[in-house]
Amino acid sequence: MVDFIKSAKKVLLGNKKKGYTLPTNNKLYPAQWNWDSGFIALGYSHFKLKYALDEIKTLIRGQWKDGMIPHILFHDLKTDYYPNHSVWACGNKIHSSGITQPPILAIITKLILDKNRINNKYKADFKKIVKGILKYHKWFIKFRDPNNSGLVSILHPWESGYDNSPLWDEPMSKVKIPKNLKYKRGDNKVVNPEYRPLDIDYDRYVTIKNHLRKNNYNPKKLYKTSLFNVVDVGFNSIFLRANKDLLKLLNTFNLKSKELESYISRSEKKIVKLFNQKKNTFFNIDLKNKKKINIPSITHYFILFADLEDKAFNNKIIKNLEKHSLKEKYLLPSVKSNHLKFEEKRYWRGPVWINCNWIIYQGLKNKNIKFANQIKRKTINLVKQKGFNEYYSCKTGKGFGASNFSWTAALFLDLMLENKND
């Protein structure tokens, strides 16, 4: 009989470096990724708390002076990955990218603290981490919501974490690609190009990235001038939940932030307005082009993770979620499978992602335990049947992308062991 818990631990330890963990053990992602590390830390917390703490501490050490925590930290500079540290040209104490990723650190930190008894030595470490996270969240509020609306923007599809989603097709189509654009991508040489973004999409990613660099990653300036500026439901749902958890963490360590309290209140009121009652669907806002984006993405259901108090609203969203994946053998497809933008194999355009399942499961637990447990059970069985892959077909369960994927192993561990101390 296969010991799946042992196998999951083996994946994490196999990808571990000094103080951080690679998303996978091949050349596809040879660095430390922001929200990957959050999920990875949660996995470690079930069997090696020190490794979990090291993962987060290393990420915090890469924090910029203004508060941003980058989406990539380049600890090893010898890599063929594109874009690498020299392409980003961010001269900080740890070489990094010039953009961020979904801010899950507060959520993960709270979960770790809730599930573990922390000695005095670790308490000091965690207090320092919480202070860093607060600085990070203040950066979001100041620079990604300068109008104090209650909703933050992303300035590059890569910041969303679900990079190649059809959510970005419309605003990306407005990005003009310069004739002299030169770069050499390597991702489609490591894995099947059928799984990866198209060249035209990568051209636009690089064009946006080049604009950010040209403006020296100035957050104040770029909010107004970036070639891409989108208010995303999923990202803001994560941020709202993260702010709520951060507030609880601050209380734990006798820290305070009135700014955070008032921002949570604004976000609660504003995020529900991204739902069209008549059409019974969510939409993103393309601020750059002043348009609404309506794509049936699984990330819209991250709003359940935000733990809104409106039960009637939550129940409506849950009914929609059931319809999103009604006909699929494997839950949850990243894009509704009957939509014209759906692609079974391509990165974020249809496949099942374990981190999305985990986020939605966490959001459902206190709202519809039966449905939550169904997602949990099917997620665990998918990994057991098909292995620790980056993502999976919702039709066949076949694994795509990288194998030995760290966050898949980490979140599998969390789902398997979440009640071990109860």
Active site residues: 163, 390
Q: 76-80, long-range: CB within 8 Å, 24+ apart, which pairs?
A: 76/17, 76/30, 76/31, 79/27, 79/30, 79/31, 80/27, 80/186
Strand partners, 96: 73, 90
Q: How far is CA 359 from the centre of its chain?
A: 10
CA–CA separation, 213 and 254 (whole Å): 39
> In the numeric block, which tokens belong to residue 266?
């604004």
Please check whether residue 79 is in contact with residue 31, taking contact to mean a CB–CB distance below 8 angstroms: yes
Cα(285)–Cα(306) distance, integer angstroms: 19
Verify cis geometry, omega within 30 degrees of 0, for the bond prior to 28: no
Tell me if 402 sits within 8 A of 23, measured CB to CB.
yes
